[in-house]
Amino acid sequence: MKAAIFAEYGGPEVIRIAEVETPQPGAGEVRVAVRAASLNHLDLWVRRGLPVETPMPHIGGSDIAGEVDTLGPGVAGVEVGSRVVVNPAFYCGRCDSCRRGDGGSCAKLRILGEHTQGGFAEYAVVPAASLLALPGPVSFAQAAAAALVFLTAWRGLVTRGGLRAGESVLVTGASGGAGTAAVQIARLAGAHVFAVTSGQEKVGRVRELGADVVYDRAQVDFSREVWADTGKRGVDLIFDSSGQATWEANLRALAREGRMVVYGATTGPEAVTNVRLMFWKQIAILGTSMGSRRDFETVMALVFTGKLRPVIDSVLSLERVREAHERLERGEVFGKIVVTP
d(CA 33, CA 19): 16
Closest separation between CB of residue 76 and Zn ion, Å? 22
Helix axes 177-188, 200-208, angle to 10 degrees: 40
Residue whose CB is less far from Zn ion, 294 or 309 = 294
Strand 83-86 vs strand 123-127: parallel, antiparallel, or unpaired? Answer: unpaired
Closest separation between CB of residue 293 and Zn ion, Å? 11
Site string for Zn ion, 90-119 (x = CB under 5 A): -xx--x--x-------x-------------
Taking each continuous run of H as one helix and of E as one strand, the counts in the chain are 10, 18
The torsion region of residue 290 among left (phi > 0), alpha (psi -120 to 50) and beta comes to left
Q: Which segments within 92-242 are labelled E, that is strand?
A: 110-111, 123-127, 131-133, 168-171, 192-197, 213-216, 235-240
Stretch that binds Zn ion, among 25-33, 40-48, 84-92, 228-236 (CB under 5 A): 84-92
Provide the residue count of the chain.
341
Closest separation between CB of residue 91 and Zn ion, Å? 5
Residue whose CB is less far from Zn ion, 4 or 109 = 109
Site for Zn ion in 247-266 (CB under 5 A): none
Closest separation between CB of residue 92 and Zn ion, Å? 3
Buried b (16+ CB within 10 A) or exposed e, 100-123: eebbbbbeebbbbbbbbbbbbbbb
Residue whose CB is less far from Zn ion, 18 or 92 = 92
Residue whose CB is less far from Zn ion, 44 or 92 = 92
71 lies in the binding site for Zn ion (CB under 5 A): no
Residue whose CB is less far from Zn ion, 91 or 239 = 91
Residues that bind Zn ion (CB under 5 A): 91-92, 95, 98, 106
